[in-house]
């Protein structure tokens, strides 16, 4: 009986149109419903009393934004037990992240949310206003129902295991000093910060190929072209991340004058944030990665890459042009974030000026195939209020492979006078250190990876905002890890880190 209540999304609109023509009043509830509890039952019963048919729509597991490990129960299980409830007439799994498409599919007479949503400020996603508008468009009414409020998330966190034990222990420790409400307050506070980003602008071009095999004569890899996707990388990607959290962001960088450039920049950067020096003698950095078509549930398979990049760094004239831009702005910003990929922006004159003038300086000095062994943090910088680096970069900075990472991170932080320092070690852990020499170790929050490219940049962006705000080390590390966990689910930098997703995921993981 319950199976007949579960309606495929593709067929649902037609069914509900027929019911409306029969004069049925349709009531809709929408959510994740990861763990059914008494509050849900009362919510559904009150909603059902408003009409003739109760439709419960649920966000599919791919689009649930409650952080790693959620939903705990998959689409089939959640839809099955909802369909088993007597008060529920139909269940539809919605393949979209928000409720607008669900509302447009059902076109309810009444759309019901919990009473806690009567105050729209309680909705961290900001989607409730979109829901209200969508309901009005389809001719329905909003109703707020449910006398008893429980938290599925809190019950799952306390009594189930949505996360590995080490992640749950870390989240519990963070929750002791940062409630979900405090977490939201800190993240919302980022909006007040003024951020100046200086660094290498990179365009990541993903060329998808279907590998056909080896050619018969030359034994070289052969592939059929499928598609191209040009993405914002490097400092430009970090600019996009920052814009999710504060509108007060400016980007200073260096680019060429290629015919395609301006149209691409307009896709990613607001005119008021553009302080990019254009120079005909400079080649805009493009990193073209040849990849295989993505397979759901597996990490993106990369074949090889080709870099479009100048062999020699820009001369003094371009460095002076960058400094001229910096002189106009650097004193006015709460955070100056350096994204140094070793591609020409952070040469000696610029680097020395930034270290002298930045009020609060965060540095990300990266090692890559183009600069390996040359772009080393403590050889290029003598000051950083904040820095982030990875395992290869700290090995190069120390000059040894076998390290006591906590000890060496502290030594680097002391050398650079840093208030916060982070070492990201991929699937192992992220170590954080603050000015009183506390060390924290955060495990990976999510081990389901699509593409690691850009995850460290996302961590750096959000952790730097937290550091500038003076967040506790545990909390700032957690925020950076949430950004990294979001980034590894995205191919390259196809989209920025979303504030709403970070808020919802972080608040869910801290609900104990």
Secondary structure (DSSP) of 183-246? HHHHHHHGGG--EEEEE-EEEEEEEEEEEEEE-TTT--EEEEEEEEEEEEEHHHHHHHHHHTT-
- Mean pLDDT value of segment 297-318: 92
Share of residues in the chain with pLDDT > 90 (%): 77
Tokens of 376: 């080393």
Domain ranges of the chain: 2-151, 185-194+239-250+257-277+310-509
- Mean pLDDT value of segment 160-173: 84
User: Does residue 108 or residue 221 have the better pLDDT?
Assistant: 108
Residue 223 has pLDDT above 80, yes or no: yes
Q: How many CA atoms lie within 13 A of 210 on its CB side?
A: 2
Residue 2 has pLDDT above 60, yes or no: no
- pLDDT tens track for 407-426: 999 999 999 999 999 999 98
Tokens of 174: 């963070």
Instruction: Indicate the pLDDT class of residue 436, thresholds 50, 70 and 90.
Output: confident
Residue with tokens 């004193």: 331
Give the containing element (helix H, strand E) for 287: strand 285-291
List alpha helices for 384-454, DSSP H: 391-398, 405-416
Beta strand 386-390 pairing with 361-365: parallel
- pLDDT tens track for 442-462: 999 988 889 999 999 999 999
Residues 6 or more apart in contact with residue 332 via CB below 8 angstroms: 194, 196
Domain 2-151 fold is: Rossmann fold (3.40.50)
Residue 13 has pLDDT above 50, yes or no: yes
Residue 355 has pLDDT above 80, yes or no: yes
Instruction: Residue 293: count other Cβ atoms within 10 Å of its Cβ.
Output: 12
Any idea what the Cα angle at residue 479 is, between residues 337 and 264, rounded to 5°?
Answer: 50
Tokens of 388: 């982030």
Instruction: Indicate the pLDDT class of residue 156, thresholds 50, 70 and 90.
Output: low
- pLDDT tens track for 371-394: 888 999 999 999 999 999 999 999
- pLDDT tens track for 474-486: 999 999 999 999 9
Q: How far apart are the first and last CA of the chain?
A: 37
Q: Are 58 and 97 in contact (CB under 8 A)?
A: no
Give the containing element (helix H, strand E) for 143: strand 141-145
Does this chain's domain 2-151 share its CATH topology with 185-194+239-250+257-277+310-509?
no
Domain 185-194+239-250+257-277+310-509 fold is: 3.40.1190
User: Does residue 406 or residue 115 have the better pLDDT?
Assistant: 406
User: Does residue 469 or residue 270 have the better pLDDT?
Assistant: 469
- pLDDT tens track for 15-42: 999 999 999 999 999 999 988 888 888 8
Q: Is the pTM of this model over 0.85?
A: no
- Mean pLDDT value of segment 44-52: 93
Question: What is 293-311 written as a DSSP string?
Answer: PP-TTSPPPEEEEEEE--S
Instruction: Indicate the pLDDT class of residue 1, thresholds 50, 70 and 90.
Output: very low
CA distance 177 to 174: 6
Any idea what the Cα angle at residue 490 is, between residues 485 and 496, rounded to 5°?
Answer: 85
**Can you say how many angstroms the Cα of residue 122 is from the centroid of all Cα atoms in its chain?**
21
Give pLDDT, residue 147. Answer: 63
With CA atoms as reference, report the closest residue to 273 among 239, 323, 313, 234.
Answer: 239
CA distance 242 to 295: 30
Instruction: Indicate the pLDDT class of residue 112, thresholds 50, 70 and 90.
Output: very high
Residue 157 has pLDDT above 70, yes or no: no
Inter-residue long-range contacts of 19-23, CB under 8 Å, 24+ positions, other chains counted: 19/53, 20/107
CA distance 479 to 486: 11
SS3 label, residue 146: coil
Give pLDDT, residue 152. Answer: 62
Instruction: Indicate the pLDDT class of residue 154, thresholds 50, 70 and 90.
Output: low
- Mean pLDDT value of segment 216-243: 93
């Amino acid at each position: 009986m319950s199976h007949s209540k579960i309606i495929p999304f593709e067929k649902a609109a037609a069914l509900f149109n027929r019911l409306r023509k029969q004069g049925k009043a349709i009531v809709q509830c929408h959510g994740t419903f990861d763990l059914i509890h008494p509050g849900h039952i009362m919510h559904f019963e009150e909603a059902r009393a408003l009409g003739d048919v109760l439709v419960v729509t649920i966000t599919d597991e791919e689009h649930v934004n409650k952080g790693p490990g959620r939903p705990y129960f998959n689409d089939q299980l959640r839809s099955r037990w909802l369909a088993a409830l007597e008060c529920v007439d139909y269940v539809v799994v919605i393949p979209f992240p928000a409720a607008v498409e669900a509302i447009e599919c059902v076109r309810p007479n009444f759309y019901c949310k919990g009473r806690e949503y009567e105050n729209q400020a309680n909705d961290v996603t900001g989607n409730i206003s979109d829901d209200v508008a969508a309901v009005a468009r389809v001719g329905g009414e909003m109703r707020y129902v449910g006398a008893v409020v429980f938290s599925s998330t809190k019950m799952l966190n306390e009594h189930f295991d949505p996360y590995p034990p080490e992640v749950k222990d870390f989240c519990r420790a963070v929750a002791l000093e940062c409630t979900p409400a405090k977490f939201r307050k800190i993240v919302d506070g980022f909006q007040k910060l003024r951020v100046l980003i200086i660094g290498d602008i990179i365009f990541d071009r993903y060329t998808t190929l279907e590998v056909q095999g080896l050619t018969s004569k030359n034994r070289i890899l052969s592939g059929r072209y499928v598609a191209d996707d040009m993405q914002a990388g490097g400092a430009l990607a970090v600019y996009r991340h920052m814009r999710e959290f504060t509108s007060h962001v400016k980007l200073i960088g260096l680019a060429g004058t290629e015919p395609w450039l301006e149209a691409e920049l307009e896709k990613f950067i607001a005119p008021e944030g553009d302080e990019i020096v254009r120079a005909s003698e400079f080649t805009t950095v493009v990193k073209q990665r040849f990849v295989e078509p993505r397979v759901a549930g597996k990490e993106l398979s990369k074949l090889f890459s080709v870099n479009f990049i100048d062999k020699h760094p820009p001369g003094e004239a371009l460095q002076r042009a960058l400094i001229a831009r910096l002189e106009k702005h650097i004193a006015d910003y709460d955070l100056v974030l350096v994204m140094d990929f070793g591609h020409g922006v952070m040469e000696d004159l610029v680097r020395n000026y930034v270290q002298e003038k930045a009020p609060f300086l965060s540095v990300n000095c990266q090692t890559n195939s183009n600069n390996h062994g040359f772009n080393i943090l403590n050889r290029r910088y003598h000051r950083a209020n904040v820095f982030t680096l990875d395992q290869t970069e700290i090995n190069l900075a120390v000059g040894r492979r076998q390290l006591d990472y906590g000890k060496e991170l502290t030594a680097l932080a002391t050398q650079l006078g840093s208030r916060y320092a982070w070492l990201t070690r991929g699937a192992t852990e992220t170590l954080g250190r603050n000015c009183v020499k506390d060390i924290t170790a955060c495990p990976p929050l999510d081990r389901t990876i699509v593409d690691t490219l850009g995850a460290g940049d996302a961590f750096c962006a959000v952790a730097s905002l937290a550091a500038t705000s003076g967040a506790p080390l545990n909390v700032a590390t957690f925020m950076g890890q949430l950004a990294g966990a979001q980034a590894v689910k995205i191919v390259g930098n196809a989209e920025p880190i979303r504030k709403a997703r970070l808020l919802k995921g972080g608040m869910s993981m801290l609900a104990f």
